[in-house]
Amino acid sequence: MTGTTISTAGLDPRRRRALFQAWHRGMREMDILLGQFADAKIAAMSDSDLDAFEILLSAVPDRDLLGWFTGEWPVDPDYDTPIWRALVAFHTHDGPIHV
Q: Which CATH number goes with the domain that contains 35? A: 1.10.150.250
Give the global pTM.
0.85
Count of domains for the chain: 1
Task: Specify the pLDDT at position 99.
Answer: 45
Would 8 be classed as within a structural domain?
no
pLDDT in tens, 30-64: 999 999 999 999 999 999 999 999 999 999 999 99
Nearest 5°: CA angle at 18, between 67 and 47? Answer: 100
Would 57 be classed as within a structural domain?
yes
Residues of the domain holding 26: 13-92
Would 20 be classed as within a structural domain?
yes
> What is the rounded end-to-end Cα distance, in angstroms, of the chain?
6
Would 98 be classed as within a structural domain?
no
Of 13-17, 42-46, 92-96, the poorest mean pLDDT is in: 92-96
Would 17 be classed as within a structural domain?
yes
